[in-house]
Chains A and B, each alone.
Chain A
Amino acid sequence: MAFFDRWVLTIILFWPLLASIWVLMLPKEKEDQIRRVSIWMSVVPLVLSALLFVDYGARFLPRGGGIHYDVQVTWIPQLRASYHIGADALSVPLIFLTALLTTLSLYYSARVIKHRVKEYFFLFLLLETGMFGVFMALDLVLFYVFWEVGLVPMFFLIGIWGHENRMYASLKFFLYTLVGSVAMLLAFLALYFHAGTFDIVQLAEKRPFADDIFKASLVFFGIFLGLAIKVPSWPFHTWLPDAHTEAPTAGSVILAGILLKLGAYGFLRILLPILPTAFAYWGFLMVILGVISIVYGAFVCMAQTDLKRLIAYSSVSHMGYVMLGLGAAGVALSGKVVPLSPDSAALAMDGAMLQMFNHGIITGALFFLVGILYERAHTRDLTAFGGLSGKLPYYYGIFMVAGFASLGLPGLAGFWSEFFVFRGAFDIVRVWAAIGVIGVVVTAGYILWRIVANVFLGEFNEERWGDKLWDMEGYEKATLWPLVLIMFILGLYPTPLVNFFNQAAVELLTKAGFMFH
């Protein structure tokens, strides 16, 4: 086991990079070989991360969680920056989610992408390393490196394989993220000068700026900007609809499924442990931004005619739940509001984390579904369709599961995350949580009224679509079934995942100084 503990993360992290170099070596005419190599190589981190999930759950979860599988090798000794990686109850499920969505995306793309195949798979594998790196890094410099490494491939994925407006969208995506990440870098440097290290674990122990709320806030907002743009929280969300709409299907899946989670993850890995006082102080702001995102995002969805843009905006709304949960925990941490039940803070955080995972699964599935329809119809206009339920019953069925999961139908995964967030938040920020519930109602509205009524019900336009639309093929079913299964499993029995996230939440809050009575 010692070998596994020491090497598993490093192998998961760099395996996709090796695979991408292998792809780079292959001649670009051998497209089939490139596809095969990419898919099979991506299975290795998937299997390993599944093992990681089981292993952590069996060995460490019952014994108090904590960071394990950690490796620390000196990198820049002068700056006390090191190659320090590790995984805890928060990151293990997210690493699994990354591996799963990447493999599914590669599998789906192998059938769909026919143009500049070599570059596509090279970039996708490179992207996977970047995402793993962020979830594993325990050093701010390393975190920043992987944060940026993921940025470049996605820029290309949108810019080369995207839709009509791809160049504008890719540039906007890159520059927006860059603003945030440079601000984040400056804040990291401020942390370094105060505490003398870039190590996240040590920084969490040293609590820089704990007694100086002004400077702590300055640093907080530097990092906050980087993360909130990535999440994205209103009002930093304007890059998202463009990027998600213009990206190729698999690109949208990864964007919504993983890249947005990087932002939320940063709140939990960096802001809360290192700057707990500022996190608590500004928790209420996060609640407000979260609620605005939820309600605003949902209402904007109601106004969309572009199916993909609608799903994109639904991400703004759904990531708002994450912000609400985190903010509520922050407010509880500040001690200004004493919740009736001390568990509420942890529950709100559980909900935020569950939402991170579930949103990845559900929105990933929705983007695949939109892509499948677009491949056939070459339009994303909602109003162009109608009556697809009769013609594409299989597609209809899968879409319904994902759609209902998205609107939080009990029995499917999405329900639990919303339930936990609101159960926690009601006890802490009652009024704002109540406003947030409007978003849940509107979500049901746009899923049922905008999508289901427009696309699936009504009259089928035989003249336009005749034989142009056909039901799902084998590879499309194979792409979606794993996600649908997870929605059902987590909907009926979320306990394993809740155990992970609750452990992480309790750990984080305890370390941040929250008293559970």
Chain B
Amino acid sequence: MFDTSTFIRLLPELILLVTALVVIFVDLYARRRTALGLLPGLSIVGLALSFLAVFAQWGTREVVAQTLAADTFAAFFKMVAAVAVILVVLASVRYMRARTRYVGEFYAFLLVATLAVYIAVSARDLITLYLGLETLSIVSYVLTGFLRDDKRSNEAAIKYFLYGAVASAIMLYGFSLLYGVTGTTDLQEIARRLLNGDVLVNMEWLAWPAIVLVTVGFAFKASLVPFHQWAPDAYEGAPTPVTMFLSTVSKATGFAVMARMFLVAMPALQSSWTALLYGLAVLTMTLGNLIALRQTSVKRMLAYSSIAHAGFILMGLVAVTTALGQPFNGLDGVLMYVVAYAFTNAGAFAVVAAVEDGTGGATLDHFAGLVGRAPFLAAAMLIFLLSLAGVPPLAGFAAKLFVFAPVVRQEYYVLAVVALINAVLAAGYYLKVVKQMFFVEEPERAPFAVARSMRWALWLMIIAVFGVGIFMNWFAFMASQGAAGMLGL
């Protein structure tokens, strides 16, 4: 069963696993100073190698070990995760060193979390899917509460854990219903049996509560309104690099799993899950933005903004069409949005981390006159905020284009108007930060420096944000291949 080809297909995962182990051992045996220098480098090398291993196998479309899909859809999310985690590592070098002794564990956990993401996005079986998501969740709880002496970090972890556990239980219940009806955990098989009426018990109607329960579970993971209450606290209390991870990679994973689950296992019930997601999308973007408007902490504001963005991503799934080969099919919008959003949001949170480092806080007041004190940070933040607002030629514009388009194609006029209003609302609070950074002048406050690794990370993200926007065609190409290559369609 375990032959060479399986080994090669699993190479990206294995690289991550080995790197995580190496990081733990180096941390155990190396002297502290060497370890501090070595660990981030090791993690980045491992992530980069694993990225290459995924990229080298782009275009495959096969089942591995019966439960994993080695398809372009999974590969796309894996590559996004690998790159995003590299950026997280770069952003955490100084931040974590200044706040905790357990740096080795931190990087190891990040690598394991990435591994969990890899498994979750390629899972094509309910059990594997749950395994991946649950590993990711548990590691995320630990990472959120990583600063043991920080009350807020602890509170965030507990909140996140309690909500997450409940969500997992609900989702699991939904899975059990699906299994009870169809007698299989294989996603493709579930779809086939639901379609043919080839079911164990004659209670197909159970698929409906199953959809609702599964959706609720995913909605918790992806922090969709009204299942979002944990997110702002967790995002604000967690160490900022962890917030970067949660708001980009974790969230992307939630959408990947959701897309695969709905499209592969329940194509027959599309109208009902579309209706559910439609409502969630409208609620999520509107409430997320309205609450974000009132925040005074930039970190918390970005937390709510990332909730709102989840609503935008959801538009792609709501308006998904089965003609996945064509551009603007909805699913490619989800992928485009995930890439664009990963770089942009990670960038924005990285700036927040740097500002916290330099000024000791991340409220709007700490951003006042930033252009005079740390012009590079201010410029970087401006670029990320404009991208979040969807201003061309930045990444956020590409994302906006690709999720608005399917909505227009499907002629969901109400959703389109809601999205329009929300785009403007969001710009309103992004500009509030811009105003603080550039229009308010604080000549008395001292300038501060930015760590070198952070500078690197920010440059990379700026280039990426421009790159995705200007060379939209490359990313659109990858996204459309990623969407069309989903196994089991």
Contact = CB atoms under 8 A, between A and B. Distances in A.
A79 to B, nearest CB: 6
B426 to A, nearest CB: 10
A209 to B, nearest CB: 13
B424 A149 contact: no
Contact of B408 (A119, A149, A156, A190): A190
A162 to B, nearest CB: 9
A162 B328 CA distance: 42
Interface in A51-82: 74-79
Interface in B395-428: 397, 400-401, 404-405, 408-409, 416, 420, 423-424, 427-428
B439 A78 contact: no
Contacts, number: 80
Contacts of A141: 401
B245 to A, nearest CB: 30
A175 interface: yes
Contacts of A189: 328, 401, 404-405, 408-409
Q: Is the interface of A mostly helix, strand, loop or mixed?
A: helix
Given A75-B473, A76-B473, A189-B405, A175 B427 contact: yes
A186 B401 CA distance: 9
A123 B288 CA distance: 32
B472 interface: yes
Interface string B308-335: 0000000000000000000110000000
A457 interface: no
A167 B328 contact: no
Interface stretch (B30-38, B130-138, B156-164, B386-394): B386-394
Given A76-B476, A79-B476, A148-B391, A185 B427 contact: no
B153 interface: no
Interface residues of B, number: 30
Interface stretch (A176-184, A257-265, A284-292, A413-421): A176-184
B438 interface: yes
Interface in A152-170: 152, 155-156, 159-160, 166-167, 170
A398 interface: no
B420 A193 contact: no
B397 A159 contact: no
A171 B428 contact: yes
B480 interface: yes
Contacts of B405: 189, 192-193
A78 B477 contact: yes
Interface string B44-84: 00000000000000000000000000000000000000000
Contacts of A144: 392
Contact of B386 (A152, A160, A166, A185): A152
Given A78-B473, A159-B439, A193 B397 contact: no
Nearest to B398: A76
A145 interface: yes
Contacts of B371: 119
Interface string A315-333: 0000000000000000000
A175 B386 CA distance: 13
A167 B435 contact: yes
Contacts of A170: 435, 439
A166 B327 CA distance: 42
A186 B472 CA distance: 18
Contacts of A182: 420, 423-424
A151 interface: yes
Contact of B431 (A77, A166, A171): A171
Contact of A179 (B328, B404, B424, B431): B424
Contacts of A74: 473
Nearest to A151: B391
A175 B391 contact: no
A374 interface: no
A193 B408 contact: yes
Interface residues on A, range: 20 to 34
Interface in A198-249: none
Contacts of B408: 186, 189-190, 193
A166 B420 contact: no
A465 interface: no
Contacts of B409: 189, 193
A77 B408 CA distance: 20
A282 interface: no
Contact of B327 (A79, A175, A179): A79
A460 interface: no
Contacts of B480: 78
Interface in B354-388: 371, 386
Interface string A109-137: 00000000001000000000000000000
A174 interface: yes
Contacts of A192: 405
A155 B382 CA distance: 12
A276 B419 CA distance: 28
Contacts of B472: 75-76
Nearest to A171: B431
Given A148-B391, A148-B392, A174-B427, A185 B438 contact: no
Given A152-B391, A159-B438, A78 B420 contact: no
A152 B416 CA distance: 24
A193 B409 CA distance: 6
B465 to A, nearest CB: 14
Given A156-B438, A167-B435, A190-B408, A78 B476 contact: yes
A17 to B, nearest CB: 11
A189 B439 CA distance: 35
B473 A77 contact: yes
A166 B392 contact: no
A182 B435 CA distance: 22
A179 B419 CA distance: 11
Closest 8 CB pairs of A and B: A145-B392, A189-B408, A78-B327, A76-B473, A159-B439, A182-B420, A189-B405, A193-B409
25 contacts: A75-B472, A78-B327, A78-B476, A141-B401, A145-B392, A149-B393, A159-B435, A160-B438, A167-B435, A170-B435, A175-B424, A175-B427, A175-B428, A178-B423, A178-B424, A179-B420, A185-B401, A186-B408, A189-B401, A189-B404, A189-B405, A189-B409, A190-B408, A192-B405, A193-B409
Given A171-B435, A178-B389, 7 more contacts: A76-B473, A77-B473, A78-B327, A152-B391, A156-B438, A159-B438, A193-B409
